[in-house]
Chains A and B, each alone.
Chain A
Amino acid sequence: MREIQVRDVIDAVAAMCIKANTELPDDVRAKFEQAMADETSASAKEVLRQLLENADLARDTKLPLCQDCGLAVFFVEVGDDVRVVGGNLRDAINDGVRKGYGDGFLRKSACDPLTRANTGDGTPAVIHFDMVPGDKLKIFYMAKGGGSENMSRVTMLAPAQGWEGIKKFVINRVAEAGPNPCPPTIIGIGIGGTFDHAAKIAKKSLMRRLDDTHPNPEIAAKEKELEDALNDLGIGPMGLGGKTTVLSVKMTMEPCHLASLPLAVNVQCHSQRHEEVEL
């Protein structure tokens, strides 16, 4: 069995937290540039210009792209033939968050739900583990902002509502959210599973690169159908009007119970700070 030192996990996680928060990923930047070329309204272009300037400044100064450096969310794929030595994997990820958010001057946004007391170090991270074949450890990280997360919803549709019901719910959700989640947004959609699983696969969908194409052509077509419908809403960058309401729609579909049609809509702001590393 292959062994990975806990120290390497901590350092890799800390580096991901800092990089994601200060360097806009190239797939997101490319979407901004595309939107800048497509938009005709002056206000939409000005917002996009500011976002590109912001990305340059963050890269050059190492200031975070956004003061909301998110709750640290991880999806971890652990190979069957690899183990972490010298410590516990969950603790190592949290130690990495603590180090990254401290060293990188990132805002620590984790707090007690009722007293609202800040935990002080950005932990605990939200971590989803999955066992996969192989001897690699793959870690996906996202800095998940609160403003866009607040606009997300899970619903249990009736099976009879089908795709039309799903489409209507997603469109109404994005319309209702309007300018609040910092459009142009990325919409992660989870269809199927159970109440909890739909939300999880919606979130995991947001870990995909914005420029990828879903390997299943039917789902890829549905993503495109939703993307076009959402952009027709005309909300535009920061809600000031325009053609770009969403940068991308990413969908995951899994089987569900005969009685159910679970649907989760996870809204992500334009500052899609994501990183991944394989150890």
Chain B
Amino acid sequence: MAEYTLNTPLTDADIEQLRAGDVVFLNGIIYSARDAAHKKLFELLDAGKELPFDLAGSAIYYVGPSPAPPGRPIGAAGPTTSYRMDTYAPRLHSLGMKASIGKGKRSDEVKAAMKEHTGVYFGATGGAGALLSNSIVESTVIAFDELGPEAIRAMKVKDFPLLVINDCHGGELYVKPKLDTAD
């Protein structure tokens, strides 16, 4: 397993070298978006309007942080379960998104989109929201403030610790459960 330090915006070359199981420390700006924000992004796309951030080379973090207490840029900020964004991810990959960050399994459609458009799916440790917030040095709401925790935030990250779960070559890190009693 290799270790990389990468910066956003991400390039095809950044993504192509990655293999499932690699550790990546990510730097630069990433964008938070989860269920409700994705729905609104798609409404903008369908209406032919401009998105609140540039998708080219972008990394979207599936997170709804807790409120920032005084003296910190953000509250706890760990990943939410990714499959709920599976319906949205293929189109975003086709429009330039390079990486999504979350936890849990992705659909075959998302994996195919990552192959076709050179994308990657990173896992962050679920339930380590306090720890992960230490790698977020700035956070600004840039769209859909009315969504509260689900608003889109531009987050500046420093050595954000990630694992490659699905690479763009069809590799996957998650283990298959050992089921000998299943039908």
Contact = CB atoms under 8 A, between A and B. Distances in A.
B167 to A, nearest CB: 15
B181 A168 contact: yes
Q: Which of B66, B133, B147, B163 has most chain A Cβ within 10 Å?
A: B66
Majority-rule SS of B interface residues: loop
A63 B179 contact: no
Given A66-B127, A238-B103, A271-B127, 10 more contacts: A50-B131, A51-B128, A54-B125, A54-B128, A65-B130, A66-B128, A68-B78, A109-B149, A116-B36, A179-B105
Given A109-B149, A234-B178, A67 B66 contact: yes
B142 interface: no
A271 B83 CA distance: 20
Nearest to A63: B130
Interface in A56-75: 57-58, 61-69
A181 B76 CA distance: 18
B152 to A, nearest CB: 15
Contact of A180 (B72, B77, B105): B105
B69 A63 contact: yes
Nearest to B149: A107
Interface residues of A, number: 50
B162 to A, nearest CB: 12
A178 B134 CA distance: 28
A269 B126 contact: yes
B27 interface: no
Contact of B182 (A47, A54, A116, A172): A172
12 contacts: A50-B125, A51-B127, A54-B125, A63-B130, A109-B149, A118-B150, A147-B103, A178-B177, A233-B177, A238-B103, A240-B174, A270-B127
Contacts of B63: 67
B103 A64 contact: no
- Count class of interface residues, chain B: 35 or more
Q: Chain A contact residues: over half helix, strand or loop, or mixed? A: loop
Contacts of A65: 76, 127, 129-130
Contacts of A47: 125
Given A107-B65, A239-B174, A240-B173, A67 B75 contact: yes
Interface string B157-183: 000000100000000011101110110
B90 interface: no
B9 to A, nearest CB: 25
B80 interface: yes
B129 A66 contact: yes
Contacts of A54: 125, 127-131
A106 B66 contact: yes
Q: Nearest 5 A-B pairs (CB), nearest first?
A: A180-B104, A175-B177, A107-B66, A182-B126, A54-B131
